[in-house]
């Protein structure tokens, strides 16, 4: 009984939070855009997107190189090392790009978003905005949401491109695979609609989920220094788990039954 009771309470709390955060999301997004606020959006593109670039490029390059090394040791047993390009590209475009890109984004950009919004709340800056007749959902939350929605898919594309280059470098310059067959195996097997578009859809879904989590956790954080820390931790944990769970669901829907 005690267990069931507390389970029930947790489920109720979860549904309530889902309701609140949905209202929050729509209130923030359903506003008519104003030319005056365009610079706010640009600033967030810089903070969320450009500042995440170094970690995405660095990680992408190493992931691509590891894929090259690992793939080679398996494929060479079957004399299929010329399919290395295909293996690297498909793994990245379908899975690793969106998932790893999303996880890195959660750790780098989402945690920063939560901490920043929670700090604005703690220092009463959100209330100051209200007192000056400005809705913080429009001024603070909306540009951050849009920036997150757009930047993560872009970052994933960049991650994939860099990783493929890293894989190419290992395979061709290190392991001595023929460069022509590396590219041609990739070109003949990667399908634009099936693979690339589905990968981009994944990254868009992840972007919406993790950015939403990040700004909401910041907005409802309890306004103390402790609260900021908790909220930031929650953002990283929730968004990482949500990425992995959503990835399973999307993969099941998109890729089962493929050759």
Point out which residues bind other proteins (CB under 8 A): 36, 123-125, 127-128, 130-135
Smaller CB separation from other proteins, 84 or 140:
140
Q: Is there a contact between 84 and 71 (Cβ–Cβ < 8 Å)?
A: yes
> What's the min distance (Å) between Cβ of 40 and other proteins?
11
Q: Is there a contact between 135 and 189 (Cβ–Cβ < 8 Å)?
A: no
Closest to 168 measured CA to CA, from 249, 242, 255, 61: 61
Q: Is there a contact between 203 and 101 (Cβ–Cβ < 8 Å)?
A: yes
Quick one: residue 79, left, alpha or beta (phi over 0 = left, psi -120 to 50 = alpha)? left
Smaller CB separation from other proteins, 123 or 187:
123
Smaller CB separation from other proteins, 27 or 184:
27
> What's the min distance (Å) between Cβ of 140 and other proteins?
10
Quick one: residue 135, left, alpha or beta (phi over 0 = left, psi -120 to 50 = alpha)? beta
Tokens 């047993």, located at residue = 77
- CA–CA gap between residue 123 and residue 112 (Å, rounded): 16
> What's the min distance (Å) between Cβ of 139 and other proteins?
8
> What's the min distance (Å) between Cβ of 41 and other proteins?
15
Smaller CB separation from other proteins, 141 or 152:
141
> What's the min distance (Å) between Cβ of 130 and other proteins?
6
Smaller CB separation from other proteins, 139 or 175:
139
Largest CA distance in the chain: 70
Smaller CB separation from other proteins, 22 or 123:
123
> What's the min distance (Å) between Cβ of 31 and other proteins?
10
Q: Is there a contact between 64 and 88 (Cβ–Cβ < 8 Å)?
A: yes
- CA–CA gap between residue 150 and residue 147 (Å, rounded): 5
- CA–CA gap between residue 140 and residue 128 (Å, rounded): 12
């Amino acid at each position: 009984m005690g267990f069931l009771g507390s389970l029930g309470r947790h489920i109720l709390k979860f549904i309530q939070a889902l309701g609140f955060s949905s209202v929050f999301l729509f209130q923030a997004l359903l506003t008519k855009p104003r030319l005056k606020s365009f610079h706010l959006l640009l600033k967030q593109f810089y903070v969320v997107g450009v500042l995440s670039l170094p970690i995405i490029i660095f990680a992408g390059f190493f992931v691509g190189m590891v894929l090259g090394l690992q793939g080679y040791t398996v494929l060479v047993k079957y004399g299929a090392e010329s399919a290395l390009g295909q293996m690297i590209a498909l793994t990245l475009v379908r899975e690793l790009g969106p998932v790893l890109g999303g996880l890195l984004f959660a750790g780098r950009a989402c945690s920063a978003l939560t901490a920043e919004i929670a700090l604005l709340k703690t220092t009463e800056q959100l209330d100051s905005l209200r007192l000056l007749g400005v809705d913080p959902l429009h001024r603070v939350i909306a540009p951050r949401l849009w920036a997150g929605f757009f930047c993560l898919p872009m970052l994933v594309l960049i991650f994939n491109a860099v990783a493929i280059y890293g894989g190419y470098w290992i395979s061709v310059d290190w392991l001595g695979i023929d460069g022509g067959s590396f590219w041609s195996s990739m070109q003949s097997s990667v399908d634009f609609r099936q693979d690339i578009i589905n990968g981009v859809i994944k990254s868009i879904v992840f972007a919406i989920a993790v950015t939403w989590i990040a700004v909401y956790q910041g907005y409802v954080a309890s306004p103390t220094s402790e609260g900021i820390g908790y909220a930031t931790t929650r953002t990283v944990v929730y968004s990482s788990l949500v990425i992995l769970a959503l990835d399973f669901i999307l993969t099941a829907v998109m890729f089962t039954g493929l050759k």
